[in-house]
């Protein structure tokens, strides 16, 4: 572990026992990061006067809007080895610098697709060569908005479909909505062809915050898609006539599955699968039984992990474990930490994680981690390894604290390795593999 990371680690100790992996050997040195501008998904992004006067500026960190940015991590190494509690791991940087990368998806031939928030889709080979894919949708890139998640269709070998979420501008390029497009990928060009916009949330609103936008396929071929509460009006997450603050379930063409939980209910939009969520940016599905796991950003505190059930209300903002940014008092609109008729969280991350990216370990590359969840942290600059039990967390370990920077995405690759994206102006793609 670098000395800077060590100092930050022991000045941010958790209030209860969490195993912290703190032994690392650096093998290389990355490019200097330099001064980091206010970043998305935390309160480093300055709030507008209207936001600060109307509601707290909600970002994915536990400090008020307008606060000074935290000191950036040391320039991350190109390689390091770490002895965790149960697994010795090797972390290697794979890609050349990427501008605020947001998501990675794997192609059958071994290459990867990576979204960069300003609007680029990149094809990354196994040896790290990066080429821009043409034909990506037009996005509104502001604060947290831009080109967001990417997913590959389960039958990609037959249809070449890839799916992208993004902040879609309205005709005046003033307001935005979370949108979904699918297109056929020509890997040789590389280019997106036959693009089809298959879903746009029902209401445009001011740009910059809480788009959600994670994607995951279920075993029946339907597609889950998260949409955040959009930041300025949190009660939208309790309005079932509004897509904001929900997890959607769609057919592969964007239509509504006939067995969605609210189909036929005039008070609920048919696409909604679950609601009362703030800004889900971690989403993983267990391939064995379709258990759905999400991580959801809280305000000041209240970062949560949920096991999602169809048709359930997860409470935000009426029920929350988080506090108001400005004064650490109760969050506006909050009524309780728990309430009848509202699902309690599976777990609350303490201290704050600012969760983004979530992977379920299913391969045998890391035998002691099988069945565990790996939750990325933006503000926390680490991964939390969570061991789930029946309705409770049995154990938790912190991995790579302050070593790589803000963790935007965590994925298990087809090779059994764990792949990470770091959210920086010169972010990167990393592969985590067994050491030795």
Q: How far apart are CA 146 and CA 179, in angstroms?
A: 11
Q: How far apart are CA 162 and CA 127, in angstroms?
A: 22
Q: How far apart are CA 26 and CA 75, in angstroms?
A: 12
Which neighbouring-strand residues pair with 134? Answer: 191
Which neighbouring-strand residues pair with 113? Answer: 105, 123
Percentage helix, strand, coil for the chain under 3-state DSSP, each rounded to 5? 5, 35, 55
167 CB-near residues (< 8 Å, 6+ apart): 139, 140, 141, 142, 145, 146, 148, 176, 177, 178, 179, 207, 211
Cis preceding linkage at 351, omega within 30:
yes
Catalytic residue among 210, 243, 297, 306: 210
**Residue 287 structure tokens:** 């391939």
Which neighbouring-strand residues pair with 335? Answer: none
Q: What is the 3-state secondary structure (H, E, C) of 339-382?
A: CCCCCCCCEEECCCCCEEEEEECCCCCCHHHCCCEEEEECCCCE
* DSSP secondary structure letter of residue 237: G
Catalytic residue check, 210: yes
**Residue 44 structure tokens:** 């480093």
Q: How far apart are CA 184 and CA 170, in angstroms?
A: 25
Catalytic center residues: 210
């Amino acid at each position: 572990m670098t000395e800077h990371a060590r100092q930050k680690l022991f000045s941010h100790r958790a209030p209860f026992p969490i195993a912290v992996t703190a032994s690392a050997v650096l093998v290389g040195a990355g490019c200097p990061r330099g001064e980091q501008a206010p970043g998305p998904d935390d309160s480093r992004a300055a709030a507008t006067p209207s936001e600060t006067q109307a509601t707290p500026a909600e970002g994915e960190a536990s400090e008020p809007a307008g606060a000074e940015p935290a000191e950036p991590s040391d320039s991350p190494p190109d390689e390091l080895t770490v002895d965790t509690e149960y697994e010795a791991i090797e972390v290697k940087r794979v890609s050349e610098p990427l501008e605020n990368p947001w998501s990675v998806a794997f192609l059958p031939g071994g290459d990867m697709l990576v979204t960069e928030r300003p609007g680029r889709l990149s094809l990354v080979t196994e040896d790290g060569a990066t080429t821009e894919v043409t034909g990506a949708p037009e996005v509104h890139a502001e604060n947290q908005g831009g080109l967001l998640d990417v997913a590959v269709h389960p039958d990609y070998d037959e249809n070449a479909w890839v799916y992208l979420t993004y902040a879609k501008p309205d005709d005046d390029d003033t307001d935005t909505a979370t949108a979904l497009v699918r297109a056929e990928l020509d890997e040789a060009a590389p280019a997106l062809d036959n693009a089809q916009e298959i879903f746009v949330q029902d209401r445009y609103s001011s740009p910059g915050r809480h788009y959600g936008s994670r994607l995951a396929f279920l075993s029946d071929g339907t597609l889950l898609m998260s949409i955040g509460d959009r930041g300025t009006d949190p009660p939208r997450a309790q309005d079932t006539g509004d897509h904001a603050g929900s997890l959607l379930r769609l057919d592969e063409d964007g239509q509504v599955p006939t067995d969605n939980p609210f189909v036929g209910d005039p008070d609920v939009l048919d696409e909604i699968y679950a609601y009362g969520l703030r800004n889900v940016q971690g989403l993983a599905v267990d391939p064995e039984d379709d258990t759905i796991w999400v991580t959801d950003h809280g305000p000041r505190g209240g970062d949560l992990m949920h096991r999602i059930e169809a048709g359930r209300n997860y409470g935000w903002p009426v029920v929350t474990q988080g506090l108001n940014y400005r004064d650490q008092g109760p969050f506006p609109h909050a009524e309780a930490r728990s309430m009848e008729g509202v699902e309690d969280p599976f777990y609350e991350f303490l201290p704050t994680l600012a969760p983004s990216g979530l992977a379920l370990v299913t391969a045998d590359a890391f035998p002691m981690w099988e069945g565990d969840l790996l939750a990325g942290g933006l503000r926390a600059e680490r991964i939390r390894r969570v061991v789930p039990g029946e309705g409770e967390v049995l154990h938790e370990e912190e991995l790579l604290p302050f070593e790589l920077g803000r963790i935007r995405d965590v994925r298990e690759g087809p090779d059994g390795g764990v792949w990470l994206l770091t959210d920086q102006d010169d972010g990167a793609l990393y592969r985590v593999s067994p050491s030795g």
